[in-house]
A = this chain, B = another copy of it.
């Protein structure tokens, strides 16, 4: 029991460390700053922040914590590229959504036992999970943490 808990605690520790980096990086930006591109012609900071927010929102359902808080972010920040939509959520809306979703996820994480993390996530069928038990909630945690790191590396280029 104790050792399984260690792996889960480590996965959560790394998640939290990246979330704190993101809070620090995005949280300190002005409404002018967030319109900056990470490199000429590339995504703007607000798009990356919205993209991470929307990705984390989807985790609520994937991990059976709850339903997405902001499904409308999908059109603006996942299914379409930056600068393709006439209107996207404002800087303030992204900030509020990020904080709310992050809080909701963490509350959910704290309620999960180590064995919950090895259960299937909702995007895999029971049949497929029976064939490959690695498609579990812990895999989502590790994968999304790396997704966050990937975009943090990019966002850092626009703020240093």
Contact = CB atoms under 8 A, between A and B. Distances in A.
A68 interface: no
A122 interface: no
A130 interface: no
Main secondary structure of the interface of A (DSSP, over half): helix
Contacts of A138: 6-7, 10
A124 interface: no
Contacts of A13: 134, 139
Contacts of A10: 134, 136, 138-139, 142
**Copies of this polypeptide in the complex:** 2
Interface string A37-81: 011101000000000000000000000000000000000000000
A154 B151 CA distance: 8
Contacts of A6: 118, 133-134, 136, 138
B7 A39 contact: no
Given A11-B142, A18-B146, 20 more contacts: A3-B4, A3-B118, A4-B7, A6-B118, A6-B133, A6-B134, A6-B136, A7-B11, A7-B138, A9-B134, A10-B134, A10-B138, A10-B142, A14-B139, A14-B146, A39-B39, A146-B149, A147-B149, A150-B152, A154-B156
